[in-house]
Structure 1
């Protein structure tokens, strides 16, 4: 019975570490996507401003 408890505890610890790793990786990807999306919006606004400036000249 004790060995079963040890195995279960060991597996729980292992899954906790994996869960933390998965959450960490997922959060990194979410931040990368958000930054990329934000950069696309900024570049779109920048090109729009350039077009407006050249149209005014």
Structure 2
């Protein structure tokens, strides 16, 4: 049950992050997109390692 909630929350967060990146790209703020995508990568990487996937 807890895992289902965790996966659902993670999916929603990823959708939100992707939408924000798309918005930044449309605004033409490529510098921030690079920083942001690196931050997202670190976050996902840490999360996956922490949960042992």
TM-score (norm 1): 0.49
Q: Structure 1 unaligned runs (5+)?
A: 1-25
Q: Structure 2 unaligned runs (5+)?
A: 30-53
C-alpha displacement of 1:46: 0.2
Larger radius of gyration: 1
Q: CA RMSD in A?
A: 1.3
Higher relative contact order (CA 8 A, sep 6+): 2
Q: Which has the higher helix share?
A: 1
Q: How many residues align?
A: 29
